[in-house]
Amino acid sequence: MKNQAFLLFLSGLLFLTYSCSDEEQGGGIIIGHSTSEEVSIGAEAGATYALSFTAEDRWSASTDADWLEVSPQSGAAGQQQVTLSVLKPNDSGEVRQATLSLKAGGNSVNVTVRQDEYIFVEDPVVTMSIDGGDLNVYFRTTLPQDELGIFTQSDCEWMTNQPDTRAVEEVTYYLPVRVLPNENYQARTTVVYFGKISSTNESLTDANLLATVTIIQMGQGTGESTNYEKDKQVELLQPHTQGSGIPLVMVGDGFIDREIDNGYYGRVMNQAVENLFTEEPIRSLQDYFDIYSVTAVSRHNIFADGYETALSCWMEGGNSTLVGGDDQAVQEYASAVDGIDLNNAQIVVVLNTDAYGGTNYSYVDGNGNPVDFSIAYCPVIDELGSEDFRRVMVHEVVGHGIGKLDDEYSYVTQGAMPAGEIADRQQQQRDYGWWMNVDFTSSQSAVLWSDFLSDSRYADQGLGVFEGACTYWTGAYRSTEESMMRSNIMGFNAPSRRAIYNNVLQRGEGYTPGLEEFISFDQQTFVPQTRAAETPSRPFARPRVLTLERLSGE
């Protein structure tokens, strides 16, 4: 994450006391020392608490809150320990609590889990005029002075902090900032991050993030459409020259009429297509695609409350990179392509914003069968020619959308991948042929890419079995230390390239190529990553799988 601390320090109170009753018995479960059946845990996502107990029979554990997870959830009799983990930071502005239920031998013990720490920002999204000006970011918190860090993006030069954070009342503060005038055409976005820090960790990570404020400033080109006559116009950017043709439909959201009239819309679509085909194997498979651009005229060219865009795209904001839109509207615009088969189409929605994010949605039908229809939402990150805009196109569209690849990044706070999720992924691998770049065994002879590990032609590509994938620290495995599906660098690894190649030929030629056919192709086309920009970037949001709802009448 690109950030720098510019302010640290507020005041409040932290509780981390162990608090289950002394030898308290629940007819089958004995919990250790202290005075009451209550545990206090930190406010940040990733905060943990280890609870020890003795079970006289097989036991199970569960919680009643979506912000709290317990692991493991069952076990045998004897001395045991479970770990409570905070999944969502306490940005509610109040103390919150949950109940941990431990059951054994038909009896149970309930433990109250409290979060006495909290933070609350009054306006999580703020819109500023092109003129800029002074802004007070109001928030309240119970965190102590030396445990709250306030961060901003290091590349944001148009917002400065004022001398100090000021108290309004006992636990309410405001952060004064100054937003400089925006002389650029586009609106611009930055984020203020609130994180829990310590003397040993003063940096911001996904694990200690508490809350965010997104600041959107209007640009010189911010405006409102009055002419919609070019809406749903279709341009064929490239006809296929190999296979039967795979529809790839580009459509923009948040572009107003004058941005279409002055050619900006077309430049964005062309750059997006160019970015998409920059990595192997998709670069050598471009001729399989029919590429279309569909014009979408939005009322406004800003994504914020009170504004309207053609596809109703949204960004979760803050530290999240999740992006989405109105799937029905997307299908409606894609259907403007004459004769298009939406059961075999990749749709790319390009958002007219410099915000960092990106998400791909794959679909199954009402019977749970996979559909070769996918929507990738990709902002014009930073600027039209940026490396991050290239990366989001490759990662989301090629990786998740066309290749049906899983993410290869992991977080220590995620811990072990739950058995249920592993079973779901394995079922989709088996039945759909998706997620073939990850596996759930460390055996080099049994892992999905074992053929590459024993092939001397791939000996110099850093292949192995590396733990950490699907966001989980343990229990899921990837084939290389780094890759496009991990930190958006180093291109696609061999298992990913094979999955992309197979999926394109299945859709474009109607058959699944064998291993040697892929290797012959790969040996001719793959070039090791030599790009100068090798700095890892923030992971994009997890791929989503939804049940497809078609347009009425289809």
Q: Using one digit for the tens of pLDDT, what is the confidence trace for 223-254?
A: 999 999 999 999 999 999 999 999 999 999 99
Per-residue pLDDT, 209: 82
Examine the domain organization and report whether 283 and 381 are in the same domain.
yes
Examine the domain organization and report whether 127 and 111 are in the same domain.
no
Task: Choose the weakest-confidence range: 52-61, 340-349, 465-474, 475-484.
Answer: 52-61
Examine the domain organization and report whether 313 and 334 are in the same domain.
yes
Residue 507 forms part of a structural domain: no
Would you say residue 421 has pLDDT above 50? yes
Give the residue-averaged pLDDT of 108-129: 89
Would you say residue 18 has pLDDT above 50? no
Burial 263-275 (b: 16+ CB within 10 A, else e): ebbbebbebbbeb
**Domain closes at, from 67, 94, 115:** 115
Residue 144 forms part of a structural domain: yes
**Domain closes at, from 115, 148, 177:** 115
Q: Which residues pair with 225 in a beta bridge?
A: none
Give the residue-averaged pLDDT of 57-77: 91
Residue 192 forms part of a structural domain: yes
Which CATH number fits the domain that encloses residue 340?
Answer: 3.40.390.10
Give the residue-averaged pLDDT of 319-341: 95
Examine the domain organization and report whether 176 and 239 are in the same domain.
no
Per-residue pLDDT, 10: 30
Percent of the chain whose predicted confidence (pLDDT) is above 90: 61
CA distances, 290 to each of 37, 236, 247, 250, 406 (Å): 63, 8, 5, 11, 25
Examine the domain organization and report whether 88 and 185 are in the same domain.
no
| 413 vs 520 pLDDT, higher one | 520
Q: Could you tell me the pLDDT band of residue 171, with boundaries at 50, 70 and 90? A: low
Q: Which residues pair with 508 in a beta bridge?
A: none
**What does the DSSP 8-state code read for residue 428?**
H
Examine the domain organization and report whether 348 and 280 are in the same domain.
yes
Per-residue pLDDT, 465: 99
261-288 tens-digit pLDDT: 999 999 999 999 999 999 999 999 999 9
Residue 516 forms part of a structural domain: no
Which CATH number fits the domain that encloses residue 170?
Answer: 2.60.40.10
Examine the domain organization and report whether 132 and 82 are in the same domain.
no
Across 31-35, 44-48, 232-236, 524-528, which has the greatest mean pLDDT?
A: 232-236
Residue 476 forms part of a structural domain: no
Global pTM reads 0.79
132-145 tens-digit pLDDT: 999 999 988 888 87
Give the residue-averaged pLDDT of 513-524: 98
Give the residue-averaged pLDDT of 437-454: 98
Output the CA angle 181-184-187, nearest 5 degrees: 85
Mean pLDDT of the chain: 88
Range of the domain at 294: 234-405+539-547
Q: Quick check: 345 and 153 in contact, CB under 8 A?
A: no
Residue 457 forms part of a structural domain: no
Residue by residue, DSSP assigns 298-351 as -SBS--STT---TT--EE--TT---EE--HHHHHHHHTTSTT--TTEEEEEEEE
Examine the domain organization and report whether 246 and 364 are in the same domain.
yes
Residue 150 forms part of a structural domain: yes
Residue 552 forms part of a structural domain: no
Q: How far apart are CA 551 and CA 373, in angstroms?
A: 13
Per-residue pLDDT, 215: 92
Examine the domain organization and report whether 198 and 311 are in the same domain.
no
Place of tokens 């296929």: 240
Q: How far apart are CA 104 and CA 108, in angstroms?
A: 6
Per-residue pLDDT, 373: 96
**Domain closes at, from 160, 183, 217:** 217
Give the residue-averaged pLDDT of 194-202: 83
173-194 tens-digit pLDDT: 888 999 999 998 888 888 899 9
Per-residue pLDDT, 31: 66
Q: Could you tell me the pLDDT band of residue 32, with boundaries at 50, 70 and 90? A: low
| 237 vs 42 pLDDT, higher one | 237
Examine the domain organization and report whether 344 and 247 are in the same domain.
yes
Q: Quick check: 408 and 485 in contact, CB under 8 A?
A: yes
Q: Could you tell me the pLDDT band of residue 529, with boundaries at 50, 70 and 90? A: low
Task: Choose the weakest-confidence range: 9-13, 145-149, 249-253, 544-548.
Answer: 9-13
Per-residue pLDDT, 34: 41
Examine the domain organization and report whether 102 and 135 are in the same domain.
no
Q: Quick check: 353 and 255 in contact, CB under 8 A?
A: no
Examine the domain organization and report whether 245 and 386 are in the same domain.
yes
Q: How many domains does the chain have?
A: 3
